[in-house]
Structure formats: C-alpha cells, structure tokens
Structure 1
Amino acid sequence: MRLATLILPTLLIAGGGVAALAQTAPAVAPAASSPASDIVQGRRAAFRLSGATLGNLKAAAARGDDLTKVAGQARALAGWARAIPGMFPAGSNVAPSEALPNVWTDRAGFAAKAADYAAAADKLAELAKAGDTAGFTAQVDAVGKTCGACHAVYHVPPKA
C-alpha cells in the first residue's frame, strides 16, 4: 500500500488540523531518501496530524461546536490507529525515527496499544455523531491517554 494512500485521507479529513500543524511544525530539510526513511517521514507526519486533529477535537468541544460535524475527524483518528502497526515494518528504525527497538521486539504489545487507541477513537466518533458533549469531552481525554500510554513504552522519551 502506498504511503500517500494512508496519509492523504487524514490530511483531507483533519481540516483545521493541517493549518494548526503548518503553524507549529518546524521546517524539515529533505533527507536522503530511501524506502525506510520515506516510511519514517510519513509516519512522523501522520503522528503530527493525529496530534493536531485531537487538539482540534478538544477545542471544538471546549467551544461548544456542533460535534456531529467533527465525527469524521474522530473516525480518521481511528483509521490511523489501525494503520499504525503497518507503519513500522522491519528495517524502518532509521533516523529520524523516535521509535524504541521494542516496537519490533514486542509486536503484540505494540499492536495492542494501537488497538486501544483505535477503540478509544471509535468511541469518540460515536459520541460525536450522537452530539454528546459531556461524553465527547471525557473521551477526548481518554484518546489522549491511549496515545500517551503507547509513547510511554515505545517512543524515545522527550528531551528535558
């Protein structure tokens, strides 16, 4: 499956997330291209879009927006979560990857964390579709916690 097939729908659905990302993402000089480095660049971009989308959803709830209009963004997060394990094929732990080696040595655990993220995002989409502001607001936090749970185990810790 081509990388653009996974990322382009997220870009289109994220809407305002793209604008927010463009304002906060640092310019990245093109690296020497290889299939592995292309995968790393694609998944890094998709993770940034995921974070921007989640931030937009949280802001929509805080503003009191009509949540039925953002259900597609939550579904996009769930779709991305299901794609995450496939974005870490063998041999793709190359710079500038921030994945820890246990992504590849603990595939079952890694896939389980991605499945938790997908399930949380699916529930978020259901709450958005129902227009349940209180449930949606709580679930946005739950989705964020599933992201953090995976990063705590499989991602290089942020620099202090």
Structure 2
Amino acid sequence: MKRIMTATVIGLLCLGGAAGAQDARSPLADTVEARQAAMMLSGVAMGSIKAAIDAGQPIAGQRFPTRALSRWAHAVPGAFPAGSGAEAGVRTNAKPEIWSDRAGFEARAADYAAAADRLAELAAGEDAAAFAAQWAVVRASCQSCHDRYKT
C-alpha cells in the first residue's frame, strides 16, 4: 500500500510539473498579446482613415473607425498593467518607462484620447479640412507616445 501511495504521489507530481512546464507564461502574457493586436488594429484604422481622406471620400463614412479609435485611446492605459512588460514572458516593444514614468505615460495617453475623441466628433460633421487636420493631430499624439515609450 505504501508503494502504491508513493508511486501515486510521484506520478501526480510529475503530471503537475509537466502541466506547469507547458504553460510557463505569465498570466499577463495574454494581456500583452491583446494590446499588441489592438495597437495593430489602431494602425489599420488610422491607415484606413488616411486613405479615405486622401481619396476625398465623405467623412461620414469614417464614423465607425473613428469611434473605435476613440474607444481604444481611452483603454490604452489599462492595457499596460504592472507586470505586463518584458517580465510577462512575451516579446514586447513597451519600454520600462511606461511603468517608471506612469504619470507621463498617462498624460500622453490622455492627449491621444482627447485627439481621437475630437476626430470622432468631426466625423459626424461635414468639414473635411478640419477632419484631415485632426487626423494629423491624432497621428502626432500617437507618435509622441511611441517616441517615448516604444522600442
């Protein structure tokens, strides 16, 4: 009986070790991958909006992508919780300054959100020149954050 118990315990420990080895990623690894996907989609939206501007398309057709961009802009700070840097075990371009200069990061994210909100407001109107100018403001706010906080 003692041998059976010992063998069972050893077997369970081996199974537990194997299961742990299969998923050695941080619980925040999915968060990192989700924010990376959202950043890519943000880039797609910006490119799509710019293409519509360049083609002289009615800005009303940009209501959905500008609202999506605005919603993402407000979610950006929450996509970078503590522990979701390189220590999450997933390749990331996020610099450690996102967490060590959190106030600066959140200020830039707030600028991005305000710029994206204004772009979405303009998409509900008919002023194509103001819409195009605001797209440039949104782009500059993106770049400002990337320059400081992205490798």
Alignment of 1:120-159 (within 5 A): 120-156=115-151
- Aligned equivalent of 2:34: 42
Shift of 1:78: 1.2
Alignment of 1:31-110 (within 5 A): 33-94=25-86, 95-110=90-105
Shift of 1:69: 2.2
What's the secondary structure of 1:152's corresponding residue?
helix
Shift of 1:33: 4.8
Between the two proteins, the alignment pairs up a number of residues equal to: 126
Residue 38 of structure 1 aligns with an amino acid whose one-letter code is: D
CA RMSD of aligned residues (A): 1.5
The structure having more radius of gyration, on CA atoms, is 2
Shift of 1:42: 0.6
Residue 136 of structure 1 aligns with an amino acid whose one-letter code is: F
Counterpart Cα distance in 2 of 1:128 and 1:74: 7
Residue 119 of structure 2 aligns with an amino acid whose one-letter code is: L
Structure 2-normalised TM-score? 0.79
What's the secondary structure of 1:142's corresponding residue?
helix
Where do 5+ consecutive residues of structure 1 fail to align?
1-30
Counterpart Cα distance in 2 of 1:100 and 1:147: 15
User: Mean Cα displacement is larger for which, 62-71 or 136-145?
Assistant: 62-71
User: Mean Cα displacement is larger for which, 90-99 or 146-155?
Assistant: 90-99
Counterpart Cα distance in 1 of 2:58 and 2:27: 41
Shift of 1:151: 0.5
Sequence identity, in percent?
Answer: 49
Where do 5+ consecutive residues of structure 2 fail to align?
1-22
Structure 1-normalised TM-score? 0.74
